[in-house]
Amino acid sequence: MSYQSTVSSRGDGFGAQLRAEWTKFWSVRSTKVCTGLGVLLTIGLSVLASNAGGTDANNQPPFTDRFSLVYQPLPGDGSITARLASQANSHEWAKAGVIVKADTSSGSTYAALVATPAHGLRMEAEFTRTVASLPGAAPTWLRLTRTGGTVAGYTSPDGTTWHRVGGVTLAGLPATVQVGLMVASPSVVETVKAAGGSDTRGRATIGRAVFDSVTVQSGGLAPWRQVDIGDASGGSLSRAGGAFTVTGSGDISGYGIASWVTPGNDDTVSNSLVGLQFGLIAMVALGIVFAAAEYKTGIVRTTFAASPRRGRVLAAKAVVLGATAFVAGLLASVAAYLAAQPGLHSNGYNPPAYPHRAITEPTVLRAVVGAALVLGVLAVFGLAISTLLRRSVRSLALVLGLMLVPQIVGAAVLSLGTDLWLHRLTPVAGLAITQTRQRFDTAISPWGGFGVLAGYAAVALVAAILAVRRRDA
């Protein structure tokens, strides 16, 4: 005869376990206070930071017009044709091609058809318009035709069959324009960071291109001349037979053109979510208190007596805690993001340098939801460490130390290289999910960073589950 318990096993299901943990979570004052404070402080700090200073990016010139031009006048209608034989890869956005420009002063209107080493062929005009972009690179034939106020671009693989790339009407084009060849190569922006500060500076690169078969129709009588437009440097022209070797630096671009580097590189999205720094302390504390409270009060023995499958108890705890922290975190991050925008706008974070970014934009959504995910995972990380160490102070010192110290030390005293590794290897990496802009201090991709944090939490949780199964409570 075997003994069969008459007690229904229904109460031991995972659903019931979740409900038990939720009841414990929500009936304790400290967990509620912790969650509420975390949400409020997150929003508060984001609002404070959004009001803490402005940007002058929109007071900077909205375009750059500095490059090496080889030109001659074109009276009335006509065209410039050239074969771009080769282009040096001095910069991914180096430009070499043909151009129609109102005059040789910096800032005068233009249309250009250029090749780039890494971004294909592009027809651009007026510092604001990308007329066309298509695959291709040197060697290629390029042609611009001017008809009244309109400039049309053509390419050809062989100089006989031509393909129209696009056309653009330029406002205020004079009767006689300058046509010719252009070469540009932007500066490489380097940020050097040493203990206590960072400096950003541009290092000029010199582009080099070889053209041949250069013809100007209904013109072509004047000699070719080379000039550095704007404050560009390093421009030169040397001719051998029919070949034109042109060098030059700089760029011709502005808002609306892909090679444009906007002045100011603040990440307004991650700055709006800076309140997360308070939120993370609250959520780590929440996870730690939630676990440590059971050990402190001895209720953990009751819990384990009621449901002896300890691993499952901890799993249920983690699910309840993670979900609650995520929901609270989402509330906090959405509110923080929305509440920070007015402050940023009134401090000069406006288009064109800083387009206003709606919360529904995919990368913004990733940052905002990601911030909540980080908070959920951190709460579980805290729970796991707290279960392992069974004392709240040690756990707080360890987890908060891991989350806070690298951020301080990295910024304050370390070189950029060491700082970046610290942001890849410690749980701090998780905060990368709020970044929406590639910057010199970008250490890791958004999801990659989140993965690092999630990895820490997962390892800690597995270790904690193994520990509670082996240890006396």
Partner 1 sequence: MYALHMEWTKLRTVATTGWWLLGLVACTVGLAAFVSSTVDAVNCAPRCDFDLPRLSLSGVYIGQIAAVALGALAVTTEYDTAMVRTTLAAYPRRGAVLAAKLAVVTVVVLGCAALGVLGSLAVARGILPGNGFTRANGYPPLSLGDRATLRAYLGTVLYLGLIAILSAGVGATLRNTAATVSMVLGMLYVLPIVIPFLPTGAWRDALYRYSPMSAGLTVQATRGLNALPIGPWPGLGVLAGYAGAAVLAGALLFRLRDA
Q: Which residues of the shown chain bind partner 1 in the complex (CB under 8 A)?
A: 30, 34, 41, 45, 49, 51-55, 192, 194-197, 199, 201, 266, 271, 274, 277-278, 281-282, 284-285, 288-289, 292, 296, 347, 391-393, 396-397, 400-401, 404-405, 407-409, 411-415, 418
CB of residue 375 to partner 1, shortest distance in Å: 14
DSSP 8-class letter at 421: H
Closest CA to 98 of 81, 85, 110, 86: 81
Is 377 in contact with 457 (CB distance < 8 Å)?
yes
Is 283 in contact with 325 (CB distance < 8 Å)?
yes
CB of residue 465 to partner 1, shortest distance in Å: 22
Q: How far is CA 389 from CA 82, 201, 467, in A?
A: 74, 48, 10
What SS3 state is found at 336?
helix
Is 171 in contact with 164 (CB distance < 8 Å)?
no
Q: Which is nearer to partner 1, 147 or 297 (CB)?
A: 297
Q: Which is nearer to partner 1, 69 or 396 (CB)?
A: 396
CB of residue 388 to partner 1, shortest distance in Å: 16
CB of residue 430 to partner 1, shortest distance in Å: 14
Is 373 in contact with 433 (CB distance < 8 Å)?
yes
Q: Which is nearer to partner 1, 305 or 408 (CB)?
A: 408
Query: At residue 102, what are phi and psi to the nearest 5 degrees?
Result: -60, -45
CB of residue 381 to partner 1, shortest distance in Å: 15
Q: Which is nearer to partner 1, 147 or 346 (CB)?
A: 346
Q: Which is nearer to partner 1, 324 or 392 (CB)?
A: 392
CB of residue 86 to partner 1, shortest distance in Å: 34
| Residue 131 neighbours by CB distance under 10 Å | 19
CB of residue 408 to partner 1, shortest distance in Å: 5
Closest CA to 377 of 449, 306, 435, 321: 321
Q: Which is nearer to partner 1, 51 or 442 (CB)?
A: 51
Q: Which is nearer to partner 1, 10 or 29 (CB)?
A: 29
Is 358 in contact with 364 (CB distance < 8 Å)?
yes
CA 165 to mean position of chain CA atoms: 31
